Structure 1
């Protein structure tokens, strides 16, 4: 039982990867839209490459969203508005007229006949006005026609027949003139202004109800295709008309395919394909990026980013497939290149685009554009800590999208007409969202404990709190760290390692010496050496302790784990040789080698190996007296060859060629430090 548990414990990293792999496959398949895949690929403007296609069943030709929207817009703009006629208003108007008429026209000043004639003339004017009604200025309908609802009966009529309160004066004057009563026109105008009130009002509720009824009756199809009818012949170009028929068949086919009996088989097919893609990713990591594969945090980070991109894309496609290019897919290779390398970033990007090919419309066009944009991202993004570089790269990515869209449009349409200019806005929005990569990198650093060049640049500032404290408490160690940083950075550049990471690791690798600075020779300003009064084993313990204390101090100050790795490994498992030899001379029987050996681990990357070599060479070079070039040459070879013989680089991904290149750089730098010239033979 204990052996089984022990085996399970040793395999926990592999078990975690298997679980992560299965969960990722399940999540991606869950994100996929429910439906089958049409077995033919086609594009507008390209010939049909398959055999003659006949309708496998009866189906309707579906209208495009653009066609349906055009019909909706036409209904809303062409709808004749409804107005309601209020009969009670006209009755009150006539009562008011009969009441106010004697006040305006005194019966004593007119003959009885004239009085009655004028009274009837006013009634006729009101009858004429209220035959079609009066509308207020605010209710003024548009030119054209209206529906006038009177006694629950709607009558279609020209809008110009309705009278308006702002035009009543001229109307009354005209009608009074026809009655031969011009001399009384002002009186009639005054009287009508007092009694006439609007009785025609817009019925927006009824108008909107009519619009909604018409919208609800819009058909999503136009015509049918009978089973067995030829849809398209081999070699025939896919044009607008047969394109709509093919798209209708595709939609109907995929919905017909997704039935209770078929759905499980379709899901199984999706699962197999997604599993194959993610398996390729794991195999790539295991074979070509073993240091990433061994780190479960890194593997989780990569799978997490793939899941986020797939989720966002499928969400956008379900909402509106036309917005698919708004999703900033190029953030994926950009971020992966920042934390890992360009090759891994591009590989993951291509695999993710292949997965999304199942989801998006026009999959070939989408895959082509996104892969090209990803390649441009990898080629252009460099030194992301320089803000201008990100803006330049995003501009180039956006330009690639625009050029690619133009090219596909020309292929599909054969001209530059009908260009959807809104898509350019989508590409620009995509570029603006891609700029969010900077804060996203910071968020990822906090979430996953990773480190980017931006953070390394901040950590390399010698005015930071921790380095400032070291320069005050252990100035000799601080100067030593600066020298080691310069040597290690030059060596890293020579072999193509991460120079900035090496420099930061070198600056912080000896921070543990701040606790007991005088026990290290570079900080001793007098001839008094505290080790003279200590047992060699105790001295070795103090020296070795600076590694452990450095790790604790780094964690307390929230330094990234990749920087702490340099503190942990810069002495590997080497001996504190001076005190070990002294102990062997003084008390050989009580001397144990493990008491004088650093706890390790040994360097496990090219960067940590470079630091070990640079640190040892720089520290030991202080003991050289009047060095010459041959002396420095032999000195560097002796120290690094000793580390190799001690097996310090067995776990590091560094070759003999790289080590020789590092030696060469260290020799050149030490020669410059000591201002030596090469001795030429006489």
Structure 2
């Protein structure tokens, strides 16, 4: 109420605009759902139900024991997220994203296991399930979307749960999953192009191949009598292992735009795509406010250099600098970098009105940014 009265007094004195800044439409219900403890409990309960379905489905010895172990791992995962990632734990959308991505990997792993055990496919034998499991899917996606810590979190816990889907906890598969996940996270610390995801996928596939060779998932190989080896099968197994990483990275790259839109996250890849100078607002600026456009380019170069010097996100700083003055497009001629030498429009205005026009470009910029759906 007092803010409303204060604003009215400023408007009457010509120091504030009657126009309200455009805001994102986010209702009270959405804010409540984002932080509700009941929603958190529902997400965890649904994930536990999903684990029960995966563990009890199919032929598996001692499913009850494995499910109890999976629940203990879930309790550990929740506690670890609460202690080490308090910001993510406070946002139900982040919790949902983490556990949905992990569950998708577990579900795909279980599906591939069932297909390999069915015997309906000649080349997909039960022992090949470990070669085509998408070990790095959740670590790749969460590392790019939420950062390294979330990627490591996913790599650790999805490996524990995934190893239970093959029956008793399988140490070689657990180690393969952990190392593959850690490899994926280490290669996606700063992903600015989708092609880097494919490169990371290749190295993940190489890691899977080496570990599978070490643990005997590929072979057997008779090193002393090479003629006795089935080189065709060995080649197929090697192609499946290396192709596993590449296909996983391709799927992760395709899923990123959808997940960004659903959960309101902007990755470095999207920031780089937003730096295209052919954006409608920037093209309009070159025509209507060329001085502001040149100024924005200079600020972008300075911001990027400063960010690189201190270890900040240089791409984000550059893109934000491009658009930081888009509000001047509403009245470009009132800003000094766009004025002609013949006439200063502020000469015909009261000082308070001049100040109002200059200050209002911030609100106008927010309005244009929301209207054009700029990244946040």
TM over 0.5: yes
What is the root-mean-square deviation of aligned Cα atoms in Å? 3.3
For residue 285 of structure 1, the aligned residue among 85, 99, 108 is 85
| Offset of residue 295 of structure 1 | 4.5
Aligned with 2:370: secondary structure?
Answer: helix
Tell me if the contact between 2:140 and 2:185 (Cα under 8 Å) persists in the aligned partners.
yes
* 1:448-498 Cα deviation digits (max 9, x unpaired): 332222222221122322211112111121122112111111111112111
| Rg comparison, structure with higher value | 1
| Offset of residue 300 of structure 1 | 2.8
For residue 240 of structure 2, the aligned residue among 405, 426, 447 is 426
For residue 341 of structure 1, the aligned residue among 138, 142, 147 is 147
| Offset of residue 35 of structure 1 | 8.8
Q: Does 1:379 align with 2:186?
A: yes
More helix by proportion, 1 or 2?
2
Mapped partners of 1:507, 1:332: distance in 2: 33
Tell me if the contact between 2:198 and 2:246 (Cα under 8 Å) persists in the aligned partners.
no
Aligned with 2:308: secondary structure?
Answer: helix
- Which one scores higher on RCO, CA 8 angstroms, separation ≥ 6? 2
Tell me if the contact between 1:313 and 1:324 (Cα under 8 Å) persists in the aligned partners.
no
Tell me if the contact between 1:324 and 1:360 (Cα under 8 Å) persists in the aligned partners.
no
Q: Does 1:27 align with 2:50?
A: yes
* 1:601-642 Cα deviation digits (max 9, x unpaired): xxxxxxxxxxxxxxxxxxxxxxxxxxxxxxxxxxxxxxxxxx
Equivalent residue number for residue 16 of structure 2? none
Tell me if the contact between 1:33 and 1:314 (Cα under 8 Å) persists in the aligned partners.
no
Q: Does 1:332 align with 2:120?
A: no
* 1:217-260 Cα deviation digits (max 9, x unpaired): xxxxxxxxxxxxxxxxxxxxxxxxxxxxxxxxxx4xx3xxx6xx
Aligned with 1:311: secondary structure?
Answer: helix
| Offset of residue 513 of structure 1 | 1.2
Mapped partners of 1:353, 1:428: distance in 2: 19
For residue 254 of structure 2, the aligned residue among 427, 439, 454 is 439
Mapped partners of 2:161, 2:66: distance in 1: 15
Equivalent residue number for residue 114 of structure 2? 318
Tell me if the contact between 1:33 and 1:359 (Cα under 8 Å) persists in the aligned partners.
no
| Offset of residue 315 of structure 1 | 2.4
Tell me if the contact between 1:512 and 1:547 (Cα under 8 Å) persists in the aligned partners.
yes
1:181-580 alignment runs, 5 A limit:
251=61, 254=62, 267=67, 270-286=70-86, 290=87, 292-320=88-116, 322=126, 323-361=129-167, 363-381=170-188, 384-386=191-193, 388-409=195-216, 421=234, 422-434=236-248, 435-526=250-341, 528-560=343-375, 562=376
Mapped partners of 2:191, 2:253: distance in 1: 8
Mapped partners of 2:303, 2:325: distance in 1: 14
Aligned with 1:320: secondary structure?
Answer: helix
| Offset of residue 13 of structure 1 | 1.0
Instruction: Output the TM-score relative to the length of structure 2.
Output: 0.75
Instruction: Output the TM-score relative to the length of structure 1.
Output: 0.44
Tell me if the contact between 2:34 and 2:91 (Cα under 8 Å) persists in the aligned partners.
no
- Relative to structure 1, the CA distance from residue 504 to residue 396 in structure 2 (aligned partners, 3 Å threshold; closer, same or farther) is same
| Offset of residue 415 of structure 1 | 5.5
| Offset of residue 30 of structure 1 | 3.0
| Offset of residue 14 of structure 1 | 4.3
Tell me if the contact between 1:485 and 1:502 (Cα under 8 Å) persists in the aligned partners.
yes
Mapped partners of 1:339, 1:502: distance in 2: 18
